[in-house]
Chain A
Amino acid sequence: MTAVLLKAIRDLRRRRLPAIVIFGTTLLAVLTATMTLSLMSQARDPYQAAFDAQKGAHLQVTFDSRIDPATLAGTPGLIGAAAFGGPYPATDMQFRAGGHKYLVTTIGRDNPNGEVEQLRVTAGRWPVANNEIALTRSFADLNHVSVGDRLTVLSVPEQPVLNVTALVADIDEARADVGGQQHSWVLTTAIGPLTLKGSSSYRMNYRFASDPTAAQLQARTEKLHASLPAGSVTDSVNYLFISSIFHVSTQVLTSVLMAFSVFALAATAAIVANLVTGIVISGYREIGIMKAVGFTPVQVVGVFELQVLVPAAAACIVGIPAGTVLGQPLVASSSQALGLAYQATFSPAIDALALGGALLIVALAALIPAVRAGLLKPAIVIANASAPRGQSGRWLRRLASRARLPRPVVLGLGDATARPVRAILTLAAVFLGIATMYVALGETGSFYGIYKYEGHLGNVDVVVTKSPAMADTDATQLISSQPETERFVAQTITGISVPGIADPAYSVVLRGNSSALGYQVTSGRWINGPGEVVAPAGLLHDAHLKLGDTFTATYHGSALKVRVVGVLYDLVSGPGGHELIVDWSTIAAAAPDLSPSSYLVTLKPGSSVDSYVKRMAAAQPDLLDVQANSTGDTAFLNSIAGVLFAIAAVIALIAVAGIFNTLMLNTRERVRDTATLKALGMSPRELIGMVASSAGFLALVGALIAVPAGIWLSRELFDLIISSVGGTAPPPSAHGAFEPWQVVVIPVAGVIVAIAAAVIPGRWAARTNVVEVLHAE
C-alpha cells in the first residue's frame, strides 16, 4: 500500500494541471449537489412546524353573512372539531397606501391569541381602537408598508383612515408574492363601518385532534353544506392547500437544482474519465515499468484511482461546507416567511452522502481507463514505449483537405478526433455546458410564461380595479369614453359549487369578449354564451365530469344548469386547480347584485398605456386602481432564474475545463509531431491555429447537438417540474419560446470561448523545443 500511495502522490505532484482540473470541476459539482441536498432535507418541514406552533386551522370556512352567528357556533361540534375560532365578521376592503391601492379580506378579531390560528405579532401591537389595523408581515414587506403608516379605506364612501399598528406572521400568507389569501385584522367593532352592503361574511376556523386527510376534510365540508341552509357556505380552504402553495416554490427550486446537479456531476464524470485516459496514455512506458517491478493490476488501478480521488476529496472538503453555507439563505427564507426563528441546517448525514456520492462518481469515471492500465502487458508496453497513436479522424482530415482549408486547420481537425473516446467525452462536456444554458433559458422563459398567461399579458394592456363603492355603470362608462379603449372585459371572482366537490370552485365570471383574453383551451372550445363553462382537467377529474357533460352548479342556493364546452389549461390541479370560467349571462339571474371587481382593458394599437393609466387614475383616484398590466411581482421567479443561470454558468465553466483538458492532452501527446511540424517550417501562429481548430471543431459539433437537445430538455424538465407540484401537463404553447438570437449567439459564443481556451495549449505547442523533443528518442 505504501508503494501505491507513494507512486500516486509523486505522480500527483508531477501532474498538477490535471489535479487542478479535477479539483475545480468536482468542487463546482459537489457545491451544487450539496445546496440541493440541504434544501431537500431540512431537519423539519418549516410549514408544519409553524402550523403546529400557531395552532393552525385545518379548515377555514367562509359563510354567507345572512346566517345566524349562533348557528355557526354549533358547527364545530357538527364536524368534530377539537377547537375553533370565530365566527369572525369579515369583509373585502379596498384601501390606499403609499399611492397604491390594495384589496384584502379584513377580519374582525379582538386579539391575536385563541385556541386556533394564533397570530404572532412581529412588530408593533395588536389594534386596540377602531381606527387601527394589523397587516401580515409578508404583505407589508412586499408592498413596503410599515407600522405607523396610514391607510385610506376606499371601499366605503366615508373613506376612513386606519393606522397600521401591527405586523403579524400568518402562515396562511407566508409568501405574499407567490399567492394566496391576503388578510388584515381590525377590532370586531370596527368591521361594520368598513363593510359595504353585500360584501360581508363570517369566518370560522376549525382545528381537529389530528391532521385530517384531504378526504376527511372534504367529508366535513360536505357535512357543513348539508347541515346548513343552502348557500350558507360560500367558500372554504384547508391547510393542505395552503401548505401546497407554500411548498411550491421550494419544490420548484429543488427540482431545478436536482436536475442541474445531475448535469454538473455528469460533466465532471466525463472530464475525469478523459483526464485519466490521458494520464494512462502519457504514462504508457511507466505503467510497463511499474508492472515489471511488481505492481499488481489492482495496485496499478489503485495508483490511478488515488490520483483522482485525492483532488476530488480535497474538493469535497471545500465544496461541501461551501454548498451547505450557500444553501442556508434558501432554507432561511422558508423559516423567515413563516415567522420562525432561523435554524441552520447542518446535517452530517447530508455531508456524508455528498462526500460518498462525489467520490463514488469520480472513482467510477476513472475506473475504466485505470483498469485498462492495470491490464496492459508489461513487455509490450515497455517495448513500444508509448501508447498507440490515435488513428481516427482521417476521414475528417481528408474532407477538410478537399474543402481546401488551410493545412493547420486540416491537421487540427484530424487531431480533434484522433482518439474517438476522448472526443466523445469532450463533446459530452461541451454538450452539457451548452444544453444547460438552454435549459436555464427555457425554464425561466416557461415560468415567466406562466406569469404572462395568468396575467393575460399581450392581450390586456390595462387592469382597472374598481372599489365596491363605485357602480359598475359608472366604471364602464368611464372606460368606454376613453378614445384609446378598443375593448374591455369585466371580471369578478366568486365561488360556484360543483357537484362532487366540497368547496365552491374558484370561479371567474366574465362579461365581454372573453375569448380575446388568451386563455388556452386544450380541448373543446371557449364559451360562446349562457349556460356554458370551461374548466381545467383537475376539476373535471375530481368532479367526475368530462367534455360535453351537463351538470347543475349552485350559486348562493340558486341552481345553474351548465355544460362543459372546453377544458382549460391550468397550472395546478387538485384543490387549488378547481376553477370555473363562466360568462356573466350564465350567472346574472342568480346573482343580480354581483358587480365586476375589475376590468381588463385592451387599447387600440399605438396607444400610450402610461397616458391612459394616468388619465383614468386621475378621473377616479379613490374608487379606481388603474395599472398597466404586468406580470406583477416576480421576485420569486427572479431568484429561481438567478440560481439557474449561476449553475448553468458553473456547468459551462466545467465544459470549458473539459475542452482545455482535451487540448492539453492532445498537445502533449502529439509533441513529437508538433516538433516535426515546427522543424518543417510551421510558424508559431500556424501551430496555435492548429490547436484552436481542434477546439473550435469540438465546440461546434457539441453545440450543434446541444441546441436542439437543450431546447427539448428544457421542455421535458418544465413538464416534469409542473407534474412534481401536482400540475397538469402544459400544452406545447405554454413553453417559453427562444429568441432567434439565443439559438445563434449561445453556440457561437461557445465556439469562441473554446477557441480562447486553446490559447494556452496552443502557445505551449508553439514553444515546443524541437531539439529537446526530437532528440529525446
Chain B
Amino acid sequence: MDGRAFFRAFRGGGGTKGMTDLVSLTDVTKVYQGGITGALNGISVTVEKGEFTAIMGPSGSGKSTMLNLVAGLDKPSSGTVVVGGTDLGKLGEAGLARFRRDHIGFVFQFFHLLPNLTALENILIPAQLKGNTATVRARELLEELGIKDVADSYPARMSGGQQQRVAIARALINNPTLLLADEPTGALDTRTGDQVMELLGQLHRNGQTILLVTHDAKLATRHAARVISVMDGKIVDDARLESPERAPSDVIRVRGEEASR
C-alpha cells in the first residue's frame, strides 16, 4: 500500500530543512521509589521537528521512561522536559491531560483499545474529549489504514494488526504535534509488525514527528532516521543513519557524551 500522497495531507510538520527543536530534555533524572539507581541519570537530548527517532535499549534501560516523560505521563525527579515550547513540569494533572489531548498521539505495545467501544468509537475518543465531532475524518482514517471493514467491530473481534491500526488512527485523529510509539510491534507477528512500521514510515515521510521505543535494533535501523541508544539510564549512542533522501550527516553531539560513526 502506498498512501504517501494521502499522508502528505496529514503531515504534522515540515521536511528535513528548517527543523526546530520540538522536544528537549535537560539534565533529566528519574528515580522510582525505593530505587537505588535511577531509571534515567542526568540525560539531555533534543528531538527536532519532523524527525523519526528510535530510542533503543535493553529491558530496564530507561527508554520507556523517556517516552513517558515526553508524553507527560510521568514527571522527572529532576531536570526539565520541554515539548513544543511547553515546560511539562509547570503543568498540573489537568494541564497535562489537555497537553496530551492536544499535542500527543500515543501508540501502545498492547494497543489498549477500550473493549466496549467499536473501532470507530475508539478512534473518536480523543476528538470527543477535545469537544470535536470528527466522524468524517475518523472514517477517512479507517479507509486509508485499510480497516474500513472493522469500523463497527469490537476489539475482541479484531486481529492484532487491525487493533494496532485502530490505535494508530486514534493517535492521529487530533493531528498531534508528536506521535509516540512504545514498542508498537511488540505484540505483533513479524509480517504484521513490518506493515505497522511501514505505516509509521509513511507518516514520517509526510512530516509527522515520531518518537519510537524499541528493543529491536534491526527494526530501529531499518525505519528510523536517528537512533538513540540507552543503557542503564544513560544515552550511550546517538546516531543519524543514512537514508536515500539524505546526505550522510555529522554525528550529533550530545551533552556529556560523544558518539562516533
Partners in one complex: yes
Complex Cα–Cα for A397 and B128 (A): 14
Size category, A interface: 20 to 34
B58 interface contact, C-beta 8 A? no
Contacts of B97 in A (CB 8 A): 678, 681-684, 686
Contacts of B108 in A (CB 8 A): 676, 679, 774
Complex Cα–Cα for A411 and B115 (A): 12
Contacts A679-B71, A681-B100, A686-B129 hold; do A774 and B112 have CB atoms under 8 A apart? Answer: yes
User: Can you pick out 25 interface pairs between chain A and chain B where the beta carbons lie within 8 Å of each other?
Assistant: A389-B115, A391-B115, A391-B154, A397-B116, A407-B128, A407-B129, A418-B116, A672-B112, A678-B73, A679-B73, A679-B112, A680-B106, A681-B100, A681-B102, A681-B126, A682-B101, A683-B94, A683-B97, A684-B94, A684-B97, A685-B94, A770-B73, A770-B74, A771-B68, A775-B64
Contacts of A256 in B (CB 8 A): none
Q: Which of B93, B112, B130, B154 contacts A676 (CB 8 A)?
A: B112
Complex Cα–Cα for A612 and B253 (A): 104
B109 interface contact, C-beta 8 A? yes
B170 interface contact, C-beta 8 A? yes
B10 interface contact, C-beta 8 A? no
Contacts A407-B125, A418-B116, A673-B115 hold; do A679 and B94 have CB atoms under 8 A apart? Answer: no
Inter-subunit contact A682/B129 (CB<8 Å): yes
Inter-subunit contact A673/B100 (CB<8 Å): no
State the main secondary structure of chain A at its contact with B: helix
Nearest CB of chain A from residue B103's CB, rounded to whole Å: 9
Minimum CB distance partner of A678 in chain B: B97
A777 interface contact, C-beta 8 A? yes
Nearest CB of chain B from residue A601's CB, rounded to whole Å: 69
Residues of B104-162 whose CB lies within 8 A of A: 104, 106, 108-110, 112-116, 125-126, 128-130, 154
Nearest CB of chain B from residue A392's CB, rounded to whole Å: 9
Q: Which of A681, A684, A766 contacts B101 (CB 8 A)?
A: A681
Complex Cα–Cα for A226 and B96 (A): 99
B98 interface contact, C-beta 8 A? yes
The winner among A389, A680, A684 for most chain B CB atoms within 10 A is A680
Number of interface residues of B (CB under 8 A): 30
Contacts of B73 in A (CB 8 A): 678-679, 770-771
Complex Cα–Cα for A682 and B94 (A): 8
Q: Which of B74, B93, B126, B154 contacts A680 (CB 8 A)?
A: B126
Contacts A770-B73, A777-B109 hold; do A680 and B116 have CB atoms under 8 A apart? Answer: no
Inter-subunit contact B74/A771 (CB<8 Å): yes
Inter-subunit contact B109/A389 (CB<8 Å): no
Complex Cα–Cα for A777 and B110 (A): 8
Q: Which of A390, A391, A679, A686 contacts B106 (CB 8 A)?
A: A679
Contacts of A86 in B (CB 8 A): none
Inter-subunit contact B125/A677 (CB<8 Å): yes
Complex Cα–Cα for A394 and B115 (A): 11
Contacts of A685 in B (CB 8 A): 94
A393 interface contact, C-beta 8 A? yes
Nearest CB of chain B from residue A532's CB, rounded to whole Å: 72
Residues of B38-75 whose CB lies within 8 A of A: 64, 68, 71, 73-74
Minimum CB distance partner of B69 in chain A: A771
Contacts of B154 in A (CB 8 A): 391
Nearest CB of chain B from residue A681's CB, rounded to whole Å: 3
Contacts of A678 in B (CB 8 A): 73, 97
Contacts of A393 in B (CB 8 A): 116
Contacts of A771 in B (CB 8 A): 68, 73-74
Complex Cα–Cα for A69 and B94 (A): 97
A414 interface contact, C-beta 8 A? yes
Nearest CB of chain A from residue B236's CB, rounded to whole Å: 22
Contacts of B129 in A (CB 8 A): 407, 680-682, 686
Complex Cα–Cα for A439 and B98 (A): 48
Nearest CB of chain B from residue A614's CB, rounded to whole Å: 67
Complex Cα–Cα for A685 and B110 (A): 26
